[in-house]
Amino acid sequence: MKAFIRKIVDVRQGEVERTWIMFSYIFLILASHLILKSMTRSLFLKNLGSDQLPFVYLLMASVGGVLAVFQARLAARVRLDRLIYGTTLFLMGNLLIFRGLYSLDVTAAWFYYGLYIWASFFGILTTSQFWLLANYLFDPREAKRLFPLLAAGAILGGISGGYLTHALVKQIGGTPNLTFFCIILLGATLLLINLAWRRKGEWASGGRRKQEDGRVGEVFTLIRNSRHLGFLLGIAALTELVSQIADFQFSTYVGEKIAETDDLTKFLGFWLSNLSVISLLFQVLCAGVIIRRFGVGASLLFLPLTLLMASVWVFLSYGLIPILALKMGDGAFRYSIHKAGLELLLLPIPSEIKKKTKTFMDMFANFLAQGVSGGLLLIFYTWLRLSVAQISLVSVGLIGIWLALALMARREYVSSLRQALIKRSIDAETLATAIEDEATVKVLMVTLASPNERQVVYALQLLESVQGVDLSSSLRPLLGHPSAEVRLRALRLLRRPGEDGLLPEVKSLLHDLDEKVRREAVRYLTRFSPRPAPELLGQWLQEEDEGLRGAALYCVAEQPAMAASLLSPGLIRSFLKQGPEVRRQVADALGILGETAYRSILLELLEDPDPRVRKQAIISAGRTRSPELIPALLRHLGDRLHRRTTREALAAYGDAMIGPLADYLNDIDVPISLRHSFPRVLGLIHSQRAVNVLLDSLRQPDKILRYQSIKALNKLHVHSPELRLDRRVDEALAYEIRKYYQLLSVLYAIEKGEETGTGGSEERRDGGNASPLSPFRSPPLLLQRTLRERLDDHLELIFRLLGLRYPPRDIYNAYVATISPHRAIRANAVEFLDNILPHHLKRMLLPMVEELPTEQVLQSANGFLDVHPGDRKEALRRLASDNDPWLRACTLYEIGTRGLSELRPLVELAREDKDPLVQETAVAVLKRYF
């Protein structure tokens, strides 16, 4: 049964729990919304009457824009789970307040106005936050498969909410008591929000919403410059406008005919659910067929034509049946075929423009329609005294404009689609809806004959979402296309069910020059050939053609049952006796073979003399995630040619790699150059354990190791901001600040000694006549230059650590401004830091970046750091014991060239230093100068 369900909805391993939680969440939200919608409308109609509806529409339009801006700004500033949690608690509190005011017999008009408007925005707010969370929890590929299922949960929630209202309203003591039921449902969503947030993983994009919507001025410019977007906005606005008028007619009629509030609530709940049922059935049974058969044009005309006929019926024969027909036409088709048509109409719009404009157009159309409908109803219903039936004539006029726009949009759609294919501006990876429109498919099929390779590849990519269309006649010529990518994508499309009529053409591709094409040809033939797949693969494994044999080997390795019967270690080893290309193919196949019997062969290939074979073996080792291959992989971190590939292979182990890396990272017997590579591997593993190991590494004495650890944390923090950082970041920041001031005090003492002539001979012993081969042939003032470089290094580390506590992009911009040669830009950076940093950090950091004399900077630090410049000799003593080997070597050189004989013991002691560079420098200084 589970397998059957998964087949229908395509929920894959690792997605079931997430999907079920989010399905339940949207179900409860929409159930609550339908209950509240029925409750608030009946209370408004029975206490104020339908005459007040135009005024409430105008108020909703004016208030909605303000709330939308407030919500967008809040979403940008507050972590998403906290935003949704806080909003839900706020809404639950509102319900308690409303119920309390009702119990106190508050009957003022403002109360019912507020209740009606609040319930309308309840639906907008909760559903928009749900989809924000869903986009955070699911990557684009998952979203493409699973969002239709979540949308079904929304429909089912709406259906259940309405029917529950119908069943419970009198059982629980009347309409107002429905608020308690909604509070219970919202309380359940709090648990689901918590569960969803706990189960987020590496696919999560971040705790705050990415700002993708464009600014209002920019959006209007984009719409003004695009006929296509203009038609879309016009259709969306007219859809909302006519729907709002139809809703007014429906509400007015039932408000007049049903006397009791509870009866009206029951009626509204029942029929709102009925509309959802009809919408769901039409979407499942008819919408796809209509779109495939008649295209986007029919899908855009279906709703306005239905509403046109229903409006005329209401005008000619005002009564319950025509009114229900009008409401059912709107409810059944607006969120099914019409919505699908609008989504299809968005297809040619580039994804970046779509991101900037879609949300704005939806909200603008909604608020514009509410305002305009309120104004029209005030004019025609309130002032001119047209009847509810006569208001249909207003709708008929608006629908006429709507139909004209729909026809123009249909023509513009085909033109825009052709241009989008030429420019390749449709994002196939994040395509939200499957392509079913016949006109769209025809345009794509025509594009396959284009001489432009990239356009053909692009069309093939978009055709992957097309279902139920015979593509073989269009794809047949592409099997001989000069582009390997075209041949490959054509083969992939042909491997779908029902595309089995091209066996002879595909057979010729078994000897294709491209490896991926050969593999795809093998997959096609083993699927559709009348000969059994094991027989074919066994034959191809014995072929003399190395390319075909390698393709067969890879395809066998993809199928564990087939591999068990056709492969053996002996057969694999026989392949190793051949050339490097065959060995590379073997290494590739071993990456997907799960049997441990082949691990020893992969170990051999990791040491293969051919670099291409070694690279493929490294990639395959990462795929296997075998613990016994880790030591061999770690050795390859020292191989400059394959260092990046090795890091990615080690990161593929995930959490299983973190323990060994932590051990090696802290093992002083491991060469330091190798240890420097480990933080970069950890930075590729988006895990809390990886973060914890990197945080521990902030205490490492080696500055390069600290730098790489901080850099890895920066990368993880940007891509996975939900991973927790702790006080170790603050400790590291304090250490780097202290180190900066210590080095600055040393530099100050040395430069001051240079100016005053204290601390030793002012003339260098080598007289500037060192041999060209001398290890001391360096520019003058080598130590001072090195100290300045180290100060720059520590400043970068300080800002990188700040980027772990404050918005990374802001801190990066501040750092770039700080090191700018332009004084005004540096001043802006100081001002920015002064505004965001707490007082204790400002005291330490601002003197570093302000243009102050060194002595004044050090004086400002003395209040909170033990920084005493001392003289040059004291400064050199401190540097001689620094953790930085190059700095120690430069210090020894400085002692020698200055003839500071009283510091000779430091030089003699350095002959026993662990670092070879320091040892050699000490020996050379003693030999030359002492």
- Identify the CA nearest to 919 among candidates 889, 878, 896: 889
Mean per-residue pLDDT for 506-535? 92
Alpha carbons 501 and 528: distance in angstroms, whole number: 9
Residue position matching structure tokens 């608006």: 398
Question: Is residue 52 exposed (0-12), middle (13-18) or buried (19+ Cβ within 10 Å)?
Answer: middle
pLDDT for the residue 294 = 64
Q: Residues near 930 by Cβ (< 8 Å), separated by ≥ 6?
A: 896, 901, 904, 907
- Per-residue pLDDT of 170-182, as tens digits, reads 888 888 899 998 9
- Per-residue pLDDT of 610-640, as tens digits, reads 999 999 999 999 999 999 999 899 889 888 8
- Per-residue pLDDT of 445-503, as tens digits, reads 888 888 888 888 888 988 887 777 778 888 899 999 999 999 999 999 888 766 667 88
**Lowest pLDDT segment from 395-399, 420-424, 521-525:** 420-424
- Per-residue pLDDT of 77-93, as tens digits, reads 777 788 888 889 999 99
Q: Residues near 888 by Cβ (< 8 Å), separated by ≥ 6?
A: 879, 880, 881, 882, 910, 913, 915, 918, 921
- Per-residue pLDDT of 763-776, as tens digits, reads 444 444 332 223 44
Query: pLDDT: is 344 or 735 the higher one?
Result: 735
pLDDT for the residue 763 = 42
Residue 192 in this model has a pLDDT that exceeds 70: yes
CA distances from 801 to 662, 707, 795, 815 (A): 21, 10, 10, 12
CB-CB contact of 871 with 900 (8 Å): no
Query: Is 745 part of a structural domain of the chain?
Result: no
pLDDT for the residue 395 = 94
Residue 201 in this model has a pLDDT that exceeds 50: no
Mean per-residue pLDDT for 887-896? 92
Residue 203 in this model has a pLDDT that exceeds 50: no
What one-character DSSP code corresponds to residue 676?
A: T
Alpha carbons 261 and 42: distance in angstroms, whole number: 6
Question: Is residue 920 exposed (0-12), middle (13-18) or buried (19+ Cβ within 10 Å)?
Answer: middle
pLDDT for the residue 498 = 63
- Per-residue pLDDT of 431-450, as tens digits, reads 545 566 677 778 888 888 88
Residue 126 and residue 22 in one domain: yes
Q: Residues near 298 by Cβ (< 8 Å), separated by ≥ 6?
A: 290, 291
Instruction: Determine what percent of the chain is predicted with pLDDT higher than 70.
Output: 86
pLDDT for the residue 393 = 95
- Per-residue pLDDT of 653-662, as tens digits, reads 999 999 999 9
Query: Is 777 part of a structural domain of the chain?
Result: no
How high does pLDDT run on average in the chain?
84
Alpha carbons 702 and 712: distance in angstroms, whole number: 16
Residue 23 and residue 75 in one domain: yes
Query: Is 491 part of a structural domain of the chain?
Result: no
Residue 147 and residue 66 in one domain: yes
Residue 5 in this model has a pLDDT that exceeds 60: no
Mean per-residue pLDDT for 179-208? 74
Mean per-residue pLDDT for 752-762? 56
Query: Taking CA 194 as the corner, what is the angle to CA 192 and CA 197, rounded to the nearest 5 degrees?
Result: 105
Tell me which of 421, 440, 463 is where a domain ends: 421
CATH, residue 136: 1.20.1250
Element (H, E) at 557: helix 546-557
Residue 160 in this model has a pLDDT that exceeds 60: yes
Mean per-residue pLDDT for 542-559? 91
Question: Is residue 264 exposed (0-12), middle (13-18) or buried (19+ Cβ within 10 Å)?
Answer: buried
Mean per-residue pLDDT for 345-365? 73
Query: Torsion angle, CA of 837/842/844/847, rounded to 10 degrees?
Result: 120
Residue 225 in this model has a pLDDT that exceeds 70: yes
Alpha carbons 786 and 671: distance in angstroms, whole number: 24
pLDDT for the residue 772 = 29
CB-CB contact of 589 with 575 (8 Å): no
Residue 125 and residue 242 in one domain: no
Mean per-residue pLDDT for 7-12? 59
pLDDT for the residue 756 = 57
Buried b vs exposed e over 350-382: b needs ≥16 C-beta within 10 Å?
A: ebebbbbbbbbbbbbbbbbbbbbbbebbeebbe
Alpha carbons 153 and 162: distance in angstroms, whole number: 14
- Identify the CA nearest to 485 among candidates 512, 508, 466: 512
Which range in 74-83, 404-413, 855-864 is most confidently predicted, on average pLDDT? 404-413
Query: Is 442 part of a structural domain of the chain?
Result: no
Residue 120 and residue 238 in one domain: no
Number of domains in the chain: 3
Domain assignment of residue 116, given as a range? 14-203
Cα 72–chain centre separation: 18
Question: Is residue 111 exposed (0-12), middle (13-18) or buried (19+ Cβ within 10 Å)?
Answer: middle
Query: Is 188 part of a structural domain of the chain?
Result: yes
Residue 579, SS3 per DSSP: coil
pLDDT for the residue 768 = 40
Which range in 209-213, 879-883, 887-891 is most confidently predicted, on average pLDDT? 887-891
Query: pLDDT: is 240 or 69 the higher one?
Result: 240
Residue position matching structure tokens 């699908």: 340
pLDDT for the residue 105 = 82
Query: Is 857 part of a structural domain of the chain?
Result: no
Tell me which of 203, 224, 245 is where a domain ends: 203
Q: For 683-764, where are the alpha helices, taking DSSP H only?
A: 688-696, 703-719, 727-756
Residue 136 and residue 275 in one domain: no
pLDDT for the residue 2 = 47
Alpha carbons 691 and 689: distance in angstroms, whole number: 5
Residue 283, SS3 per DSSP: helix
Residue 697 in this model has a pLDDT that exceeds 50: yes
pLDDT tier for residue 154 given thresholds of 50, 70 and 90:
confident
Alpha carbons 244 and 237: distance in angstroms, whole number: 11
763's tokens = 């003339």
Query: pLDDT: is 836 or 762 the higher one?
Result: 836
- Per-residue pLDDT of 576-596, as tens digits, reads 888 899 999 999 999 988 778
Residue 729 in this model has a pLDDT that exceeds 60: yes
pLDDT tier for residue 322 given thresholds of 50, 70 and 90:
very high
pLDDT for the residue 42 = 92
pLDDT for the residue 287 = 63
Alpha carbons 456 and 448: distance in angstroms, whole number: 5
pLDDT for the residue 799 = 96
- Per-residue pLDDT of 784-800, as tens digits, reads 999 999 999 999 999 99
Residue 133 and residue 239 in one domain: no
Residue 271 and residue 401 in one domain: yes
* DSSP line for 167-187: HHTTTTTSGGGHHHHHHHHHH
Tell me which of 376, 406, 421 is where a domain ends: 421
Residue 627, SS3 per DSSP: helix
Query: pLDDT: is 643 or 851 the higher one?
Result: 643
pLDDT for the residue 291 = 65
- Per-residue pLDDT of 323-352, as tens digits, reads 988 988 887 778 777 777 777 777 777 766
pLDDT for the residue 409 = 86
CATH, residue 334: 1.20.1250.20
Alpha carbons 319 and 313: distance in angstroms, whole number: 9
Residue 897 and residue 918 in one domain: yes
pLDDT for the residue 376 = 93
Q: Is 477 left (phi over 0), alpha (psi -120 to 50) or beta?
A: alpha
Residue 166 and residue 244 in one domain: no
Residue 315 and residue 360 in one domain: yes
Alpha carbons 609 and 596: distance in angstroms, whole number: 23
Query: Is 332 part of a structural domain of the chain?
Result: yes
Instruction: Work out the angle between the directed axes of helices 261-282 and 16-47 (0-180°, nearest 10).
Output: 140
- Per-residue pLDDT of 665-679, as tens digits, reads 988 888 888 899 999
- Per-residue pLDDT of 271-295, as tens digits, reads 888 887 887 777 667 766 666 666 6
Sign of CA dihedral 427, 429, 434, 435: positive
pLDDT tier for residue 204 given thresholds of 50, 70 and 90:
very low
Q: Residues near 185 by Cβ (< 8 Å), separated by ≥ 6?
A: 28, 31, 32, 35
Residue 175 and residue 227 in one domain: no
Alpha carbons 923 and 194: distance in angstroms, whole number: 65
Query: Is 735 part of a structural domain of the chain?
Result: no
Instruction: Determine what percent of the chain is predicted with pLDDT higher than 90.
Output: 36
Q: What share of the chain is helix, strand, coil (3-state, %, to 5)?
A: 75, 0, 25
pLDDT for the residue 123 = 82
Residue 651 in this model has a pLDDT that exceeds 60: yes
